Chain A
Amino acid sequence: MRLLTHNMLSSNIKGVTNGFPLRIEVEKVVEKEVDLNMDFLRNMFAKIEWKALVEASRTMGYSELPDDAESSMLDSDEFLRKFHHALLELHLEEGALVCPETGRKFPVNKGIPNMLLHEDEV
């Protein structure tokens, strides 16, 4: 699972009002190289919760991202490369996602988070 997806996912448990961002528990991280596409990054930038992305990338062991980002920084190639790396190339292979409110763990196996809820959580 890439951080792009992590940035979109929120906890869906009944009664949880703010299920975002899910805390990441890391067991294994893999990096896969992907072609850089500036247009996509510029398009996505507005939709990304920057703080969550920075925090997530730090837990994954990548701390190059600046604390704050503005759309003017998108002109810098260096920034885009870092953004790209954090967003699309870091994969959480094994570990868990933890709901920030209830502490419920969603296990991640082989890169697939198991977001299935129990019957009493729907």
Chain B
Amino acid sequence: MASRPELQAPPEIFYNDDEARKYTSSSRIIDIQAKLSERALELLALPDDGVPRLLLDIGCGSGLSGETLTDNGHQWIGLDISQSMLDIALEREAEGDLILGDMGQGLGLRPGVIDGAISISAVQWLCNADKSSHEPRIRLKAFFGSLYRCLARGARAVLQVYPENLAQRELILGFAMRAGFSGGVVVDYPHSTKKRKEYLVLTCGPPSLSSATPKGKGEDGESGSDEDSSDDEENQSVSVSDRHRPRKKQKLNKKVKGREWVLRKKEQMRRKGNAVPLDTKYTARKRKARF
């Protein structure tokens, strides 16, 4: 079972040529990515007037999510840190513009120009410190700050994330709120371990009626059937990092001092003139198990 890619290597190294090719040649991953980005676009709730918007795809990778945006007629700019993934995106003739950049360094876009942002399975990478100069908190702050600035007022950002644990989710959400976003987490299929997907739905500006967080899919009753293998390869394994397993009971392997040692000591005490019990067959004998 593959463990989380975040735990294996930094993104620009993990998604090398091989991994990028693998990622994009798997029809299952393509299918999942398409579904995720479709849902993200739905949550973005752009006005339904047929006008193409300028969207941002953060962690666009090989442009799988961008394809969904193109299919819906939007223009997009994609940002990714992995050159290999972007090369594949070029091969796939992604329609949007691609930028090689690190979201943790801030986005470097003019203020108020972007109509909406999506990000599929990328933001949790920010919680890792892959270089000595990386400080997750500073990187999260830079990311959300610059995202907030570049979005038009009232625009939304939908970030699909795989937080490793509760603390990570709170960390990410906390920095989003501190940057000025309102919104929250939408969880699709919360009752299913495999189908469960989390989206951070953030709105630029103070909370209002329009920025109410939409409901997740399959929240009530609707069973997220697990036969539908719509889990992401990235997350097939259950994370064990925050599980507190009791340590194996260590065997107390103390050196037990034997009968000889006891006899010697008793002899010593006798020579000193102390009152010492007689040596018998019981001396230094082990007690029975149930004493």
Contacts and interface: CB of A to CB of B under 8 A. Distances in A.
Interface of A: 1-2, 4-5, 7-12, 19-20, 37, 39-40, 43-44, 47, 49, 88, 110-117, 119, 122
A44 B77 CA distance: 14
B54 A4 contact: yes
B108 A111 contact: no
A43 B51 CA distance: 8
Given A10-B109, A122-B133, A113 B99 contact: yes
B100 A111 contact: no
B10 to A, nearest CB: 12
B105 A49 contact: no
Contact of B108 (A37, A44, A115): A115
A50 to B, nearest CB: 13
Interface string B66-83: 000000010101000101
Given A112-B100, A116-B101, A117-B102, A5 B53 contact: no
A39 B50 CA distance: 8
A93 to B, nearest CB: 11
A113 B79 CA distance: 10
B112 A8 contact: no
Contacts of B77: 5, 8
Interface in B115-136: 131, 133
B75 A111 contact: no
B90 A8 contact: no
Nearest to B81: A116
B106 interface: yes
Given A112-B100, A113-B99, 9 more contacts: A1-B99, A4-B97, A8-B109, A12-B107, A43-B52, A88-B75, A110-B90, A111-B98, A115-B108
A10 to B, nearest CB: 5
B70 to A, nearest CB: 11
- Give the 6 A-B residue pairs with the shortest CB-CB distance, closest first: A12-B108, A115-B101, A5-B97, A40-B52, A39-B51, A114-B100
B125 to A, nearest CB: 15
B110 A4 contact: no
A54 to B, nearest CB: 16
B52 to A, nearest CB: 4
B7 interface: no
Contacts of B73: 37
Given A40-B51, A111-B90, A119-B133, A8 B106 contact: no
A9 B105 contact: no
Contacts of B75: 4, 40, 88
Given A10-B109, A47-B113, A110-B90, A116 B100 contact: yes
